[in-house]
Amino acid sequence: MLSLIEIQKEDEETRLSQLQTDMDATSTASTNLSRIRINEIVESLVPKKKGRLVGLGRRARSVPPSAPQPYVDPEVLMDQLKDKDDRIAALEQKMADQEAG
């Protein structure tokens, strides 16, 4: 299985190298495959059983953990925080009224 993966990886690197040569002979861009692409090759070649890759365990999330988080406007966050603070204060007051009443 490992040799199959290595062959697929080498084929892909060769294909990328040829594409790069065809596009720009003077380019110095790397033809190394990304980790994501290598993972895709492995996943396509390794058999699966019950949703798991045989010999490799369960697949991690498709989004790398270092992916940037979506931007949220700080004003929106502050408004949400104020709303929650107001709700907490109202609940605390309601509890105090129930205890006193």
What is the DSSP secondary structure assignment for residue 53, as one 8-state letter? Answer: E
* Its pTM surpasses 0.85: no
How sure is the predictor about 32, in pLDDT bands with cuts at 50, 70 and 90?
A: low
Phi-psi region of 57 (alpha: psi -120 to 50; beta: other; left: phi over 0): left
What is the DSSP secondary structure assignment for residue 67, as one 8-state letter? Answer: S
Domain residue ranges in the chain: 1-62, 70-101
pLDDT tens across 50-91, in order?
777 776 655 555 555 566 677 888 898 999 999 999 999 999
Which residue reads 């406007």 in tokens?
Answer: 73
